[in-house]
Structure 1
Amino acid sequence: MKTQSIMALAFASTIAITSPAIAQDRSDWPSNFTVGTASQGGTYFAYGAGWANFVAENLGVSGGAEITGGPMQNMALVHTGDLQFGLTTMGPARESMDGNSPLAPGLEMDNVCAIFPMYQTPFSVTALSSSGITSISEIPDGATIGFGPAGSTSDTYFPKMMETLGVNFERRNGSWSDLGGQLQDGLIDVVAFAAGIPIPAVSQLEVQTDVNIISMTDEEAKIITEAFPVSEFIIPASTYQSLENDSRVVSMWNFAIANCDVPESMVYEITKLTMENNDKMMSIHKAARTSVPENYNKNNVLPWHPGAARWFNENGYEIPDSQIK
């Protein structure tokens, strides 16, 4: 599982010496850390890289983001300890824990712990306005659809969703940036995005060309929510300049994760920093508006890291011992 690293290092020189995190015993903390994200052009990379820098700058430990194949690969890399931290979606997390990851069939990835809620991943479809495609039912027979990096949340679920809705397509994988470029160049017909909003690749497309951001009908949303571990979601019209009205789609929750062996005190300080500074997280990415402690109960898959659970329990968000690793 080779990945491409983009390390954005930050050092303790930016830290006020009065920080309570600096005063505690850090003898068992790693000297640096890495966060597994996904491909460039997607929300995971923007969110994860910004969060890694935020943690590094405030806790005085060098760290950064790593480009990966997304949630499924992050589960594997964090489970093995190749990465200390990562980002994942609840569907791929469940499959990985149950031993159903295509990256390591039969391996139950049970050394991955939740640390905090991130945001919901909407599943949305984008096509060029010039294509004339304004609904899922209008996607032509045999259309080439980009589903994101192989093994990503989109690639794992969106093809099955399209098949369930009766769409006949040719499958294409790649980074969100690459697929956006292929869509603009007419090399593919549709991109089926699964990423937090606003998706950088969609925002970039809007600047360069006219696009249709396609909603699901009431019936389509009903069919998909009954068949997959998702819920209905509304993309506000204000999210993209191409949207004139709110857009109904479906979504799946994302959580930040840690290898369960990362020191409790380190994960406690990271959780505290993140959950108590939502304004700073919002400055990293607008999707972080839901990265708030009240959404801790959206995790019904992963065990909680003891350090994260300690912060939540101290602040009135009850996590029972049975849910803590």
Structure 2
Amino acid sequence: MPQIARTTLALTVASTLAAVAVIAQAAEESDRSDWPNSITVATASQGGTYYVYGSGWANLIADELGISGGGEITGGPTQNMALVHSGDVALGLTTMGPAAQALNGESPLAPGMAMDNVCALFPMYETPFSIAALSSSGITSISEIPDGARIGFGPAASTSDTYFPAILETLGVDFERRNGGWSDLGGQLQDGLIDVVAFAAGIPIPAVSQLEVQTDVNIIEFTEEEQQQVIDAFPVSAFTIPASTYSTLDDDARAVSMWNFTIANCDLPESFVYEITKLSMENNDRMRDIHRSAANSVPENLEYNTVLPFHPGAARWYEENGYEIDPSLIHE
């Protein structure tokens, strides 16, 4: 081939590649044109797993997708459903029990309002329902909790506050109900202002880990009979707290649990939610760096959401990667 022809061909190829690059860049910018400039993740109170997980996840999204973002302290799963439904925040964390209540118009925050503009993204982890008391209290079992005990159930309207009082009432415990952030309740327990803390939070619970460094703590497990009684009465399943979770535990502890999922306002752009899901599901090592409970934040656990519709952006990533979702569980 003559030199002039080769030069002309090279220039043509280079021009074509440059044009393709410009078109690709323009398409990418177009795909992001409707993305939000910043995002907020609704978490829960400081001292709990939601706050650590949600804030870290918000920072991961911000760093990797080039938008500003952060976690917001809230009252937990029930309030997060309301905040995400209304669009006051873009993303949040919730538990399946409160999610079902909110979707059916049974949220204690807004009775009669069906919060149906909330979509699921991906599974987080199971929330164990666990109980702690100071060793000096002498309380080593649920049956030993004295009548009139002052029990902290976490923030008002949280998963713990919604379900744990009813669980303990079912098990015959008589108590005085106290609310507050997990860090605050841990301090009250240490100071003798309350007798027991009933946690519904991912493990290890930061407030408990901090508390057991400073004093002796009893992690109180359910008996087999108590566990089955609660499973029969509430939307929970059997769970075991591994002995390695806390230095206080010598053996695995029997408990019950409820699944958590990340959520998004259903009006968020599909391409934006696709990228969030892709980032979260393809980087589990980085998710575990945020909180070790994210070891369960994997697509294989999709089956534990039978309540909320999946956002189409999330559903697209799952389907592209070989995970099936019932079409009735994809938001239209």
Root-mean-square deviation over aligned CA pairs: 1.4
The residue number in structure 2 matching 1:4 is none
The residue number in structure 2 matching 1:131 is 137
TM-score for the superposition, normalised by structure 1: 0.93
Residue type at the aligned position of 1:306: P
Q: Distance in 1 between matches of 2:328 and 2:320?
A: 17
Matched residue SS, 2:31? coil
- Which has the greater radius of gyration? 2
In the TM superposition, 1:270-281 aligns within 5 A as 270-281=276-287
Q: Distance in 2 between matches of 1:148 and 1:169?
A: 15
Note the alpha carbon deviations across 1:110-137, whole angstroms, 9 max, x for none.
0000000000000000000000000000
The residue number in structure 2 matching 1:77 is 83
The answer as to 2:44 corresponding to 1:34 is no
Matched residue SS, 1:54? helix
Q: Name which of 201, 210, 220 aligns with 1:204.
A: 210
Residue type at the aligned position of 2:262: A
Q: Distance in 2 between matches of 1:178 and 1:83?
A: 25
* Structure 1 segments (4+ residues) deviating >3 Å: 21-24
The residue number in structure 1 matching 2:299 is 293
Q: Distance in 1 between matches of 2:300 and 2:201?
A: 21
Q: Distance in 1 between matches of 2:193 and 2:28?
A: 52
Assess if the C-alpha contact under 8 Å between 1:22 and 1:59 holds in 2: no
Q: Distance in 1 between matches of 2:40 and 2:249?
A: 36
The residue number in structure 2 matching 1:98 is 104
Q: Distance in 2 between matches of 1:295 and 1:264?
A: 22
Q: CA deviation at 1:321?
A: 2.3
Going by fraction, where is helix more abundant, 1 or 2?
2
Q: Distance in 2 between matches of 1:322 and 1:73?
A: 26
Residue type at the aligned position of 1:186: G
Note the alpha carbon deviations across 1:235-263, whole angstroms, 9 max, x for none.
00000000000001000000000000000
The answer as to 2:239 corresponding to 1:233 is yes
Residue type at the aligned position of 2:76: G
Unaligned ranges ≥5, structure 1: 1-18
The answer as to 2:125 corresponding to 1:119 is yes
The answer as to 2:288 corresponding to 1:282 is yes
Q: CA deviation at 1:322?
A: 1.7
TM-score for the superposition, normalised by structure 2: 0.91
Q: CA deviation at 1:24?
A: 6.4
Residue type at the aligned position of 1:132: G
Q: Name which of 292, 316, 323 aligns with 1:310.
A: 316
Aligned pair in 2 of structure 1 residues 22, 62: CA closer, same or farther (>3 Å)?
farther
Note the alpha carbon deviations across 1:294-314, whole angstroms, 9 max, x for none.
001110000010000000111
Aligned pair in 2 of structure 1 residues 243, 321: CA closer, same or farther (>3 Å)?
same
Q: More deviation in 238-247 or 24-33?
A: 24-33
The residue number in structure 2 matching 1:55 is 61
The residue number in structure 2 matching 1:222 is 228
Residue type at the aligned position of 1:269: E
Unaligned ranges ≥5, structure 2: 1-24
Residue type at the aligned position of 1:244: D
The residue number in structure 2 matching 1:161 is 167
Note the alpha carbon deviations across 1:160-201, whole angstroms, 9 max, x for none.
000000000000000000000000000000000000000000
The answer as to 2:330 corresponding to 1:324 is yes
Matched residue SS, 1:133? coil
Aligned pair in 2 of structure 1 residues 315, 127: CA closer, same or farther (>3 Å)?
same
